[in-house]
């Protein structure tokens, strides 16, 4: 597990989400879960429609892998 704000966007492989099931707005690390917000792990402004390798669903707690 990465430390708080310990990852750059490049290190986390931050990118547009390939589908609705892995969007940052649905990740337990994003707050607030809106169009734009912050991430507990990745530095910078985070778009709700993007994703990264650290995605963990708010609903299930399952990781992307």
Full pLDDT tens readout for the chain, 65 residues: 678 899 999 999 999 999 999 999 999 999 999 999 999 999 999 999 999 999 999 986 555 44
**Domains identified in the chain, total number:** 1
Confirm whether 63 is domain-assigned: no
pLDDT at 1: 64
User: What letter does residue 4 receive in the DSSP assignment?
Assistant: T
pLDDT at 10: 98
User: What letter does residue 7 receive in the DSSP assignment?
Assistant: B
Confirm whether 30 is domain-assigned: yes
Confirm whether 28 is domain-assigned: yes
Confirm whether 16 is domain-assigned: yes
Whole-number Å distance between alpha carbons of 17 and 52: 8
Q: Dump the DSSP string for 13-65.
A: T-EE-SSGGG-GGGBTTEES-SSEEEESSB-S-EETTEE-TT-BBTTT--B--
Confirm whether 3 is domain-assigned: no
**Domain residues for 43?**
9-51
The pTM assigned to this predicted structure is: 0.85
């Amino acid at each position: 597990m990465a430390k708080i704000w310990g990852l750059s966007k490049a290190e986390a492989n931050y990118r547009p989400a390939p589908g609705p099931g892995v969007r940052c707005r649905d990740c337990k690390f994003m707050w607030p879960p809106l169009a734009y917000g912050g991430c507990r792990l990745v530095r910078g402004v985070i778009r709700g429609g993007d994703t990264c390798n650290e995605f963990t669903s708010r609903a299930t707690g399952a990781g992307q892998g």
